Structure 1
Amino acid sequence: MPSTRRSGRLSGVRITYANDELESNSADETSKTPRNKGKEQVLDDYSDEEFQAPPGEEEEDDDSEDDSSQNEDAATENDAEGGEVGAALEVNKGSRRRHKAPKISQPRSTQKRQPGGTLALTGEETHSRGTWNPLEQVGKSVHLQATFGLDERDILAILYARDRWSRGIDSTFPTRVSLDEAQSLQDYKYGSTFGAEPDDLKRETSRGWDWYYSDHFGTRPRDWQRVESIPEREARQTFMPAPQGGMHTVLLGPANNQKGFTLDQYDVLNFGDAWGEARGRRTTDQTQPEKHKKKRQGWIINLGQRVQCAAWAPNQTGLHQYLAVAAPITNVQKEVYPDPLKDHAAPAFRPSPPYPCALQLWSFKADKGDSITKTIDMSFTPKLRLALCTDWGDLRRMAWCPIPREPRDEDDTDAYKDIGLLAGVYSDGYVRVISVKISRDPNKADYYRVHSPVFQAKPPSTVCTCVTWLSTSDIAVGCANGFVAVWSIAPLSVQPQSGSKISSLPYVYHPIHSTYILNIASAFPTYPHLVVTTSMDGETRLSSLADCEKDVVDATRMRVGSPHLTYSPWLQSFISSDENDFVRLLTLRRFYTTTAVARLPSTISALATSSSWHPNVLLGCTGGSVIATNPLRRLLHAKEKQWQQTWFSHTWARGEEPRSSGTSRFYDGYRAESISLLRNMMGDRKLINGTMVITIYEEQTHITTLSWNPNQSCAGWASAGLGCGLLRVEDLAM
């Protein structure tokens, strides 16, 4: 049996032999000191030295001087004997022993602060950062100043948002009560303008549009656009997607009792027919006909092809609302157009052939009511009011000019109603601005072929990829070579032959990234000169157009670039996505840090442009789900629970027939849920046996585009475009 292993340390006092008398005396005195007692005494001395006195200072108690005077005689005797160890362990009866403790590492102490929250620095210390450290535990007032700035305009703007949208009922979808209170609560002067000067915004809505109505060059810019009316048959056969030959089946309604509908191309479906009537919603007035309101109300339109982009027209104060939609033609239709640059570069970095494309403008109507917030009038079937046909390639991005325009006398004398200016990026590499006008007859649909727009431009040796508005006459464009170009569409010179504006050089053309720019957004209306760009190299960068060399801030770099980006004036932050299906918030004052505000079940594929009437965010993913959340409470208080709610979930399946458009199933009625925003947590739905997996969904299942209605009366309206060609419009205000 093997012997028990024992420690090799000696339990007793180690015996030493020395010839020197002094060493032997000191060793004897040392051996008389108990081992444990000496340790306790040393620890007691350390506690007196280290935990009672502040770091860097030596504090002595009242009897320290007596101890030092009594120890002088003993120290003199020990020096005479030459016994340094004996002097260190000499016990003086009736007095406290003081030992010089060895220098050990101290725990980090809390730094002192001034009453305002700033660090109390001594004369020798310096402060290298321009803002407070957000990782430190600070008060709420200091947190607001560190996040939104010290200027009263920024603080009052976020207080204005907090008073309206920090309630728990608005955690996911906006409510009608909060939307209707927009004009009754105090605006703090800068709240309704989001920190901008009210006089400046008012001047921009009036004098900012003088260039558009001016006839200084003989013709007004609003008349520069040249269009030609074409037959409806030609527009549908050439510029719109060709029918795929089969009906599209749609299943929706309650989960246990869904109904099936079939839609042909450009058919419109009221999906409220699949739901029962809502309780307590009938009209009690005997003079009016009884109205039956369904539990869910909205429209589904079959465009027949993947919805590339969609955006609601701003500055519409009437009952009619307009939604601009673009759906590219099919690949079979594109085969007849040769591509001479096919073998020269990747499709994203070169101009495409002149594919035909049509910009469709659909009309919806709001229901009359006494409240500010309107619902959708389900008795009015949506109609196609305008189709602008072009041969400039696919329309990849579109952006309406968001600046309001005060009505003028010229608007009433025009035979057509002016909807607004629409900037678009086409696959031939150009950025173009189109003036969208429709007939004043609500039952008429116009089909035009656009020969020349109000403005068009293209950077040298590259193509445009994304666009955003800076003012009524300035647009910023991202390019495939990493440059950002800024053009002014205000009149500088005019071609005498056609009257259209000459494509001038950009007055800002600067390299921001080293490769393809995926998206660009401006901090309008507070700081329109600040733009954020995302690139294929994973960089997200905030730049000032006043000085692109010095005024640059980088966010955390990702391994995969994000094509989704928008600025929310309510949050004073940019909203984007990351590589792990999280939605991140990039505050303007703390752009170098990110805050996770939502988590999606699959890869993010769509992000709605932020609304100027509520801070709620709408997100779509490749799995077919659309998520809504309000990041304001988490932005103000980092420990608040974050809630999100699913608008609907969509799934597409192939049909039995070869030319069938397939079958789409919708699920509605999801509850709000509190989510965890921790990364790499146990039980992650994407971890299977310790391996990260990603699910690949059908392209027709994807959510391709989302859009909030930017008008106050219909701020709760939202649209969602799907990969299978369906377009869903619904009022989400609760």
Structure 2
Amino acid sequence: MASARRSGRLKGPRAVYTDDLFESAGIADESDSEERQPSGTEKRRRRRDEDSASDDEFVAGEVNDEEEEEEEDEDAGEERYVDVMDDNEPAATPRTPRTPGGRSRPKTVQSQQKLLESSGAANRSTKASTTETRTRGCIDPRENVSKPMYYMSTFGDDERDLLAVVYTRDRWGRGVDTCLPTRHTLDIQSTANDYEYGPTCGVAPDDMVKERTSGWDWYYDKVIGKEFRKPQKIGPKLKEADARRKYLPKPKKGKHTILIGAANDQKTFHLGHHESMNLAHAWGETKAQKSDQASAIVREGWIISFEQKIQCLAWAPNQDGFDQYLAVVTLVTPEQKEKHPSHGIEPPSPFRTAPSYPCAIQLWQFTGKQAGPVTRTLDMETKPLLRLVLCTDWGDLRRIAWCPMAREKRAEDDQNGMKSIGLLAGIWGDGKMKVLDVKLGPDKKTEFVTIQSPIFEAKSPSNVCSCLTWLSPTDIAVGCSDGFVAIWSILPTSDPEPIPYFYKSIHASYVLSITSAYPTNPHLIATTSIDGETRLWSMIDPESENTTPVRQRQAPGHLSYSPILQSVCSYDENEFGRLMPIHKFFATQSAGRMPSSVMCLAPCSFFHPSLLFGTAAGEVVATNPFRRLLYSKEQHWQQTWFSHDWAPGLIKDSSGASRFYEGYRAETQSLARNLSGDKRPQLGSSLTTVHDERAHVTALGWNPNRASAGWACAGTGCGLLRVEDLAI
């Protein structure tokens, strides 16, 4: 016997939306109460609390079709405040609305209680309405919305943003670029018909031309430029033995052991301090698949041993030639710090200045060769060369960043036999932000130079600087240890100490990372704090124009803005990469799932959308999240560049032994955040593996130059630097 049909109508009060808080609280004039008597339709709805109907009838209204037609005629021209819920919204779970800034608004029920308390004794007997009322915010992007509405909420409704997305879709939306960029796509040159704003990521092409030309006139000006370069003082050149003994980590007696090659035929290599090896020696000629046109594949890349944790990495921009320059920072050993006069006076803390330990910036030169119409690959016949060592006595160097703004090459860049590399900013242990004008001599040999004073120096009052980002060729934003953000102009002034023209409290505590939405929205800045808050705010009005996603328990240490994805890229404590589009920053989207905790993130490239994540277990994972950002139901693909393991090793007084696994294929990955969607085996409880610090991937970087955009570098905790062309 068939079971009796049961109704699916929700029992209970309906959700009512109103714009009048006094009406929702039951406070109204007598004239209003007389005019707003419940209509016959509303009376019939109240009498049907115990009735039942189908879900479709509930959404359409709780009256029959014939009655509905009559009521529409009666209510024509009258403003209605009663609204119904969406088809895709669960009836039992009320939706929390959001403001245009992305923050959740409190329910009106809570607001009306405060309103009643402040209204005085005259209305204390008035009770709040039993009907739950809420105010509307912006559209919840997690709901089922149309594709045009989804695109506008994700990328904006301006034609410049949408044309840039269409250009990116046509260029990088193919399946072959789902993880790493291909050389074929990088070699495609933009034409005049590429959607006008497409190649410039939504910025007017004329503005980009002005920035790389007239935007640097101040630097070459005979008056301003001379005053700007005047403060930097370079001491006499040091002897190599003296510089290595004081400013570089003391080398180990034993060499670092490296196991690398095919999984079934790995070879052993031994590298000393600053020695390099060619990856082709480990792999040889590997037979290609039958479908490939080439008969053999040769692995091209370099591995250099520094024997100490690599603290920072940064490729120099605006290098159009075959020579590319990589800045590497490694700190001196703890034994060397113990010999420093100020060591041990105060316990180390990131919230105050540290002793003036010696530190050096190493500038390495990698040579390339032509591989396509535009792109270049590494020249494996020329070994990497240490060209310049900048020695300082300002404490440990914590962060470095080259000025990424494009600069057109001029004749003044190569004068007196010196080659201009660019402006390099950094945060030193003394709590100050400093800028150096880096130049190279004509000789093809290593130079050891002491920097007595920088070209620009600034410090925030009553705290220390923690992170920095470039806003323009003349402006730098700096995060501070007390939650403030300061912005300085590096142009010369008459003040003995530069004063920031912007200095406001953005967070409640230590600012871990900061990035600018340059070039699409350079006035927007994203910051993350040690308290787990990530915030996007505007320099114009940071108090009202700001938004934040869900707070994390463990704040990410790196943020980077991708102009191609129009999103801020980061990661969370659950081993997920994540994207935060600037138009809906409050709604994060997963951008990859890593095998272990994420330790670092490569700064996003201006020429391709691929991301690189470094983990605590030693893996480097690459992914292109654009297809999933554009189509939320697309499968997510990611590929492991290499996996690194470390062990103490058998050689006495060495930096240990490392093993590299590589040759991983691209795989799909589930981005489910619950255990039910996790394909990995579960042991009954959530486990966290603690990995040795020397196995970590501590620094990553994409080459920011057009011809070498496929070059990537990775540094490890044991001091190994790996440089390889990842363009397929």
Moved more, 688-697 or 154-163: 688-697
> For the structure 1 residues 139 and 185, does the alpha-carbon distance in structure 2 shift closer, same or farther, using more than 3 Å as the test?
farther
Q: How far apart, CA to CA, are the structure 1 residues paired with 2:648 and 2:254?
A: 12
Native 8 Å contact 2:514 2:526 kept in 1: yes
Q: What is the identity, as a one-letter code, of the residue corresponding to 1:245?
A: K
Native 8 Å contact 2:286 2:296 kept in 1: yes
> For the structure 1 residues 659 and 553, does the alpha-carbon distance in structure 2 shift closer, same or farther, using more than 3 Å as the test?
same
Deviations 1:680-712, CA, capped at 9 Å, x for gaps: 223858875422111111111000000000111
2:210 corresponding residue in structure 1:
203
Q: How far apart, CA to CA, are the structure 2 residues paired with 1:697 and 1:50?
A: 55
The Cα shift of 1:715 comes to 0.6
1:705 corresponding residue in structure 2:
699
Trace 1:274-289 onto structure 2 (pairs within 5 A): 274-278=282-286
Trace 1:515-526 onto structure 2 (pairs within 5 A): 515-526=509-520
Q: What is the identity, as a one-letter code, of the residue corresponding to 1:462?
A: N
Q: What is the identity, as a one-letter code, of the residue corresponding to 2:166?
A: L
Q: How far apart, CA to CA, are the structure 1 residues paired with 2:353 and 2:67?
A: 83
Native 8 Å contact 2:337 2:343 kept in 1: no
Trace 1:441-452 onto structure 2 (pairs within 5 A): 441=443, 443-452=444-453
Identity %: 49
1:366 corresponding residue in structure 2:
368
Q: How far apart, CA to CA, are the structure 2 residues paired with 1:410 and 1:240?
A: 32
Q: What is the identity, as a one-letter code, of the residue corresponding to 1:700?
A: R
Deviations 1:361-412, CA, capped at 9 Å, x for gaps: 0000111345211111000100000000000111110111011112223224
Q: What is the identity, as a one-letter code, of the residue corresponding to 1:296?
A: R
> For the structure 1 residues 410 and 561, does the alpha-carbon distance in structure 2 shift closer, same or farther, using more than 3 Å as the test?
same
Which of 312, 315, 327 is 2:315 aligned to? Answer: 312
Native 8 Å contact 2:219 2:225 kept in 1: no
Q: How far apart, CA to CA, are the structure 2 residues paired with 1:159 and 1:209?
A: 31
Q: How far apart, CA to CA, are the structure 2 residues paired with 1:409 and 1:108?
A: 64
2:491 corresponding residue in structure 1:
490
Moved more, 637-646 or 220-229: 220-229
Q: How far apart, CA to CA, are the structure 2 residues paired with 1:728 and 1:526?
A: 32
1:321 corresponding residue in structure 2:
324
The Cα shift of 1:568 comes to 0.4
> For the structure 1 residues 57 and 520, does the alpha-carbon distance in structure 2 shift closer, same or farther, using more than 3 Å as the test?
same
> For the structure 1 residues 212 and 690, does the alpha-carbon distance in structure 2 shift closer, same or farther, using more than 3 Å as the test?
same
2:589 corresponding residue in structure 1:
595
> For the structure 1 residues 193 and 130, does the alpha-carbon distance in structure 2 shift closer, same or farther, using more than 3 Å as the test?
farther
Q: What is the identity, as a one-letter code, of the residue corresponding to 1:208?
A: G
Q: What is the identity, as a one-letter code, of the residue corresponding to 2:264?
A: N
The Cα shift of 1:136 comes to 2.4
Q: How far apart, CA to CA, are the structure 1 residues paired with 2:525 and 2:372?
A: 40
Which of 380, 386, 389 is 1:387 aligned to? Answer: 389
1:60 corresponding residue in structure 2:
66
Is the partner of 1:212 in helix, strand or coil?
helix
Q: How far apart, CA to CA, are the structure 2 residues paired with 1:605 and 1:451?
A: 33
Native 8 Å contact 2:218 2:224 kept in 1: no
Count the aligned residue pairs. Answer: 618
Q: How far apart, CA to CA, are the structure 1 residues paired with 2:450 and 2:577?
A: 40
Native 8 Å contact 1:235 1:447 kept in 2: yes
2:148 corresponding residue in structure 1:
141
Which of 294, 299, 306 is 1:296 aligned to? Answer: 299
Trace 1:392-541 onto structure 2 (pairs within 5 A): 392-441=394-443, 443-493=444-494, 502-541=496-535
Q: What is the identity, as a one-letter code, of the residue corresponding to 2:359?
A: C
2:721 corresponding residue in structure 1:
727
Is the partner of 2:654 in helix, strand or coil?
coil
Trace 1:669-708 onto structure 2 (pairs within 5 A): 669-682=663-676, 684=678, 689-708=683-702
Trace 1:240-259 onto structure 2 (pairs within 5 A): 240-259=248-267
Q: How far apart, CA to CA, are the structure 1 residues paired with 2:592 and 2:415?
A: 49
Q: What is the identity, as a one-letter code, of the residue corresponding to 1:456?
A: E
Q: What is the identity, as a one-letter code, of the residue corresponding to 2:451?
A: V
- Say yes or no: does 1:183 pair with 2:190: yes
Is the partner of 1:543 in helix, strand or coil?
strand
- Say yes or no: does 1:150 pair with 2:144: no
> For the structure 1 residues 633 and 185, does the alpha-carbon distance in structure 2 shift closer, same or farther, using more than 3 Å as the test?
farther
Q: How far apart, CA to CA, are the structure 1 residues paired with 2:724 and 2:173?
A: 24
Pair member with larger Rg: 1
Native 8 Å contact 1:631 1:642 kept in 2: yes
Q: How far apart, CA to CA, are the structure 2 residues paired with 1:698 and 1:169?
A: 35
Trace 1:526-675 onto structure 2 (pairs within 5 A): 526-675=520-669
Deviations 1:573-626, CA, capped at 9 Å, x for gaps: 001111101011000000011101101111101100000000000011000000
> For the structure 1 residues 390 and 53, does the alpha-carbon distance in structure 2 shift closer, same or farther, using more than 3 Å as the test?
closer
2:246 corresponding residue in structure 1:
238
Q: How far apart, CA to CA, are the structure 2 residues paired with 1:47 and 1:226?
A: 83
Deviations 1:186-216, CA, capped at 9 Å, x for gaps: 4211112111222222212122212222233
Q: How far apart, CA to CA, are the structure 1 residues paired with 2:402 and 2:359?
A: 18
The Cα shift of 1:727 comes to 0.3
Q: What is the identity, as a one-letter code, of the residue corresponding to 1:643?
A: W
The Cα shift of 1:56 comes to 5.2
> For the structure 1 residues 368 and 349, does the alpha-carbon distance in structure 2 shift closer, same or farther, using more than 3 Å as the test?
same
> For the structure 1 residues 671 and 212, does the alpha-carbon distance in structure 2 shift closer, same or farther, using more than 3 Å as the test?
same
Is the partner of 2:310 in helix, strand or coil?
coil
Native 8 Å contact 1:521 1:531 kept in 2: yes
> For the structure 1 residues 233 and 134, does the alpha-carbon distance in structure 2 shift closer, same or farther, using more than 3 Å as the test?
same
Deviations 1:82-113, CA, capped at 9 Å, x for gaps: xxxxxxxxxxxxxxxxxxxxxxx9985479xx
Is the partner of 1:589 in helix, strand or coil?
helix
Q: How far apart, CA to CA, are the structure 1 residues paired with 2:353 and 2:645?
A: 34
Q: How far apart, CA to CA, are the structure 1 residues paired with 2:305 and 2:480?
A: 33
Trace 1:328-343 onto structure 2 (pairs within 5 A): 328-339=331-342, 342-343=345-346
> For the structure 1 residues 416 and 218, does the alpha-carbon distance in structure 2 shift closer, same or farther, using more than 3 Å as the test?
closer
> For the structure 1 residues 184 and 330, does the alpha-carbon distance in structure 2 shift closer, same or farther, using more than 3 Å as the test?
same
2:73 corresponding residue in structure 1:
none
The Cα shift of 1:540 comes to 0.3
Q: How far apart, CA to CA, are the structure 1 residues paired with 2:716 and 2:651?
A: 21
> For the structure 1 residues 106 and 313, does the alpha-carbon distance in structure 2 shift closer, same or farther, using more than 3 Å as the test?
closer
Native 8 Å contact 2:610 2:622 kept in 1: yes
Native 8 Å contact 2:516 2:525 kept in 1: yes
The Cα shift of 1:661 comes to 1.4
RMSD: 2.7
Is the partner of 1:718 in helix, strand or coil?
strand
Runs (5+) with no aligned partner, structure 2: 1-47, 71-82, 90-132
2:103 corresponding residue in structure 1:
none
Native 8 Å contact 1:623 1:697 kept in 2: yes
Deviations 1:396-443, CA, capped at 9 Å, x for gaps: 1011101111222322434200000011011110110011101133x2
Q: What is the identity, as a one-letter code, of the residue corresponding to 2:429?
A: S
Native 8 Å contact 2:59 2:85 kept in 1: no
1:172 corresponding residue in structure 2:
179
Native 8 Å contact 2:88 2:143 kept in 1: no
Is the partner of 2:592 in helix, strand or coil?
strand
The Cα shift of 1:54 comes to 4.2
1:261 corresponding residue in structure 2:
269
What TM-score results when the alignment is normalised by the length of structure 1?
A: 0.80
What TM-score results when the alignment is normalised by the length of structure 2?
A: 0.81
Native 8 Å contact 1:398 1:422 kept in 2: yes
Is the partner of 2:512 in helix, strand or coil?
strand
Deviations 1:614-658, CA, capped at 9 Å, x for gaps: 000001100000000000001001100000000000000002344
The Cα shift of 1:671 comes to 0.8
Q: What is the identity, as a one-letter code, of the residue corresponding to 2:279?
A: F
> For the structure 1 residues 720 and 334, does the alpha-carbon distance in structure 2 shift closer, same or farther, using more than 3 Å as the test?
same
Is the partner of 2:246 in helix, strand or coil?
helix
Q: How far apart, CA to CA, are the structure 1 residues paired with 2:665 and 2:458?
A: 47
Q: What is the identity, as a one-letter code, of the residue corresponding to 2:430?
A: D
Native 8 Å contact 1:388 1:448 kept in 2: yes
Q: How far apart, CA to CA, are the structure 2 residues paired with 1:556 and 1:403?
A: 32
